[in-house]
Amino acid sequence: MINQRRCRSIGSIFLLSVLTGLLLFSPAVALAVQSQPPVQTEWWVWEIALFVFSFFLGIIAVIAGVGGGVLFVPIVSSFFPFHIDFVRGAGLLVALSGALSAGSPLLKKGLANLKLALSMALIASISSIAGAMVGLAMPENVVQLSLGATILGISVIMLLSKNSAYPEVTEPDTLSKILHIYGIYYDEQLKKDVSWQIHRTPVGILLFVVIGFMAGMFGLGAGWANVPVFNLVLGAPLRVSVATSIFVLSVNDTAAAWVYLHKGAVLPLIAVPSVAGMMLGTKIGARLLTKVHTRVVRKLVITLLAAAGLRALLKGFGI
């Protein structure tokens, strides 16, 4: 048993080491560090590198239980020669396409709740548009600085947050009663139906406004923030929180993506290999989920994320 655990830990560390090695020693890094236009490298080399990189990112994102979007922007903007405008545009599409492809089964199973999502997404999507407009108007060093600080904050949240599988909500608030936000789903772990209701709805809506703004500004998927708000603030069960977060993400990222499209910050040459690589990697990652030590990978990914955040911060300071 202990040997098996040790093997899984070693396997997990190996997997992440491969990715980190790929990051640090690839020709992409050497060029990105110089901040020069990549004239000496054929464009298709970057396309393949981006696809392969996104593929590995997709694998570890699933294993670590984090959204691909939040890893994509800080790491790709640090190690590839693309301007952060295009990386943020691609990051939004990575998060959006992941949410679109995952959304249908979650809605069919009743895990994602349409009414809960719509109530939070309406104002959040407007703030997401505002965030995208502010983000694209800010000077590059300010973007890097704020991105670095945000990513470091996300790393801390991910490290410290303790979700609650079945939070207890004794009395739903008035707004959630008016909006008929409650539900029931079949829990495969408990093998029974679980009813749920929520409280603190106005606080939740306000928090989603802030999350939407940040997601639009940095092109990040916002699962890292959506899930704790649904789960810990509103009191929705963890499975409902994760599933509904994906739905909200699809609405908010759509709104922000249009700002990036209008500002010319979406290049299919960067967005499509990222989306395809990430989606393929996510499928492989889901199969590997039981074979690697997820907690070890999660901690290593948080470390990697913190390193990328620190790098963005240093770039912002011109170091």
Partner 1 sequence: MKQQLHANRIQLTYATVLSWTSTLGIIFVVAGYLVYVFQLLPSTVSPSEVAMHWHLRAAELHKIVPVPSGWDWIYQLGRGDVLSYASVVYLSSVTMLCLAVIIPLFLKEKDMIYAVMTLLQVLVLVFAAAGIVSGGH
Under the criterion CB under 8 A, does residue 133 sit at the interface with partner 1?
Answer: yes
Q: Which of 30, 33, 178, 286 is close enough to bind partner 1 by CB under 8 A?
A: 178
Shortest distance in whole angstroms from residue 217 CB to partner 1: 14
Q: Which stretch binds partner 1 (CB under 8 A): 67-75, 99-107, 199-207, 217-225?
A: 99-107
Type of residue at 64: A
Radius of gyration of the chain (CA): 19
CA quadruple 89, 95, 100, 101: dihedral, nearest 10: 120
Cα–Cα distance for residue pair 306/318, rounded to 1 Å: 18
Q: Which stretch binds partner 1 (CB under 8 A): 14-22, 68-76, 149-157, 181-189?
A: 181-189
Nearer CB in complex with partner 1: 121/236? 121
Cα–Cα distance for residue pair 56/51, rounded to 1 Å: 9
User: Number of residues in contact with partner 1, rule: CB under 8 A?
Assistant: 77
Nearer CB in complex with partner 1: 179/210? 179
Q: Which of 11, 65, 81, 153 is close enough to bind partner 1 by CB under 8 A?
A: 81
Under the criterion CB under 8 A, does residue 171 sit at the interface with partner 1?
Answer: no
Packing angle, helices 140-160 and 68-79, rounded to 10: 140
Under the criterion CB under 8 A, does residue 95 sit at the interface with partner 1?
Answer: no
Q: Which of 11, 38, 65, 153 is close enough to bind partner 1 by CB under 8 A?
A: 38
Cα–Cα distance for residue pair 153/155, rounded to 1 Å: 5
Cα–Cα distance for residue pair 143/68, rounded to 1 Å: 20
Q: Which stretch binds partner 1 (CB under 8 A): 96-104, 217-225, 282-290, 299-307?
A: 96-104
Shortest distance in whole angstroms from residue 303 CB to partner 1: 28
Shortest distance in whole angstroms from residue 64 CB to partner 1: 23
Q: Which of 39, 40, 160, 168 is close enough to bind partner 1 by CB under 8 A?
A: 39
Residues in 244-263 that interact with partner 1 by CB under 8 A = 250-251, 254-255, 257-259, 261-263
Under the criterion CB under 8 A, does residue 48 sit at the interface with partner 1?
Answer: no
Neighbours of 186 (CB within 10 A): 13
Q: Nearest 5°: phi and psi at 236?
A: -80, 145
**Are 301 and 60 in contact, with CB atoms under 8 Å apart?**
yes
Cα–Cα distance for residue pair 95/168, rounded to 1 Å: 30
Element (H, E) at 13: helix 2-25
Under the criterion CB under 8 A, does residue 202 sit at the interface with partner 1?
Answer: no
Under the criterion CB under 8 A, does residue 122 sit at the interface with partner 1?
Answer: yes
Cα–Cα distance for residue pair 87/267, rounded to 1 Å: 9
Nearer CB in complex with partner 1: 38/153? 38
Token pair for 189? 């772990």
Residues in 283-302 that interact with partner 1 by CB under 8 A = none
Q: Which of 61, 64, 73, 136 is close enough to bind partner 1 by CB under 8 A?
A: 136
Nearest in space to 16 (alpha carbons), one of 313, 309, 305: 305
Under the criterion CB under 8 A, does residue 140 sit at the interface with partner 1?
Answer: yes
**Are 260 and 92 in contact, with CB atoms under 8 Å apart?**
yes
Nearer CB in complex with partner 1: 140/161? 140
